[in-house]
A = this chain, B = another copy of it.
Amino acid sequence: MPTLLILSSNADEYKQLIKLAQLPGLEFTTEPENCDIVLGEPKLIRDTLPRLPNLKWVQAIYAGTEGLMDPVLRRDYTLTNARGVFGELMSEYVFGYLLFHEKKIFERQSAQQLRQWDRAESGVLRGKTIGLLGVGSIGSYLAGTAKHFGMSVHGFTRESESCKDVDVYFHNPDILKFGEGLDYLVSVLPRTKDTNKIVNASLFDVLPSHAVFINVGRGNAVDEFALVTALNEGKIAAAVLDVTEKEPLPDDHPFWATPNLLLSFHTSAISYPENITKLFVENYFLYIEGKLLKYRVGFEKGY
């Protein structure tokens, strides 16, 4: 019988939701030794990997699975991640911050405190160009929202060019060509060996000084020192970081007090058990039929 181990701080909620789905033949266990399926947080699964003799399939409840990518770890199972559920949340986050910036919401609030009728003109998204570093499931969703707001969309990918909402694609080695003329740069890159410090001083040098950078991917993509310098020197207008190299951010990290840098503490997209359960149920039926699972992560690619 397919037997599921749940490794999550929300394990009870997941169990309830999965039970509601009445999946044929599925048993639950709390003993790693008994299970062939694990659903949970990559970090918890990582620690349990050596004690899973029958492991066939891991469904991660996050998009990022870097905790399971270390080459010293076993790779003799199918790893699937949470995909197609974060785009909507990321889109709310990214466009929330872009509009916050353009509509000068903070400045209006300051004016209000001073009882000043401040009619400084707001900026608009319409007609602007957004550059997406990474155009997978989340990036594609962001591209769709950008199109709704009448924007041009540039995409930087390894090779894929499959998103219809991207107007122009760029690939290595054209990262600086990609950066030129962007009004907004958004990284949704996963943590892989190829994404380290892809957002660095050279890229900040070619971005226009009014550009806003948002990172909703992983902190490793950013050269943090170069970002602090770029903001201090006014090379870009603002940065919004949902992710950083170290989380929580160390108390003495310069990001806390860098001008025009906003932190949001990895809150942009939460894994809602309802959403993840839907993915699990979808994949479970494929699993018991011996079919190829959806949302598979490639151990070599890292995403």
* Distance between Cα atoms of A128 and B62 in the complex (Å): 24
State whether the Cβ of A145 lies closer than 8 Å to any Cβ in chain B: yes
Residue of B nearest to A98 (CB): B96
State whether the Cβ of A124 lies closer than 8 Å to any Cβ in chain B: yes
A84 CB, nearest partner CB in chain B, Å = 13
* Distance between Cα atoms of A91 and B148 in the complex (Å): 10
Q: What's the tally of chain A residues with a CB closer than 8 Å to chain B?
A: 47
Residues 229-253 of A contacting B (Cβ, < 8 Å): 247-249, 251
State whether the Cβ of A149 lies closer than 8 Å to any Cβ in chain B: yes
Contacts of A112 in B (CB 8 A): 256, 262-263
A94 CB, nearest partner CB in chain B, Å = 9
Contact present for A100 and B105 (CB under 8 Å): yes
Contact present for A97 and B103 (CB under 8 Å): yes
Contact present for A121 and B256 (CB under 8 Å): no
* Distance between Cα atoms of A93 and B96 in the complex (Å): 10
13 CB contacts below 8 A, A to B, read A88-B124, A88-B126, A89-B124, A92-B99, A92-B103, A92-B149, A93-B99, A93-B103, A103-B267, A105-B264, A108-B267, A115-B251, A122-B267
